[in-house]
Amino acid sequence: MTNSDINIHVELDEQKVPDKIKWTATESTAEAPQNAKAMLLAFWDSAEKTALKIDLWTKDMMTDEMADFFYQVLFTMGDTFLRATQRKDLADQLKRFANDFHKKFSEKEINL
């Protein structure tokens, strides 16, 4: 059996707001820790039937970056759901929602 470790390092400012997020993975081809401005991590607790999650973003994460991040996460959740369930109808619905979400965000940004 092969093991892989993913390590996340979060540097906080004086108010305990994330200033920097870096991550490494033993199976990654990257030689240095990778920088990130945001992260979403979720675990399924099957005993409690609930999601346990960590969502962090740095104070320099811009609103348009957050919208792009959420769009990409929501869209690729459709791919993940399809692989896990073979339910193309629901996977496509997630992707349509992601596209609609991003379109609405972009339209509102243009009108500001």
> What tens digit of pLDDT does each residue of 13-61 get?
999 999 999 999 998 999 899 999 999 999 999 999 999 999 999 999 9
Assign residue 40 a region: left if phi > 0, alpha if psi is -120 to 50, beta otherwise? Answer: beta
Per-residue confidence band for 108, with pLDDT thresholds at 50, 70 and 90: confident
pLDDT at 109: 75
* Tally of CB atoms within 10 A around 91: 19
Report the half-sphere exposure of 14 (CA within 13 A, side-chain side).
0
Mean pLDDT of 49-75: 96
Could you give the 3-state DSSP secondary structure of residue 9?
A: strand
pLDDT at 111: 67
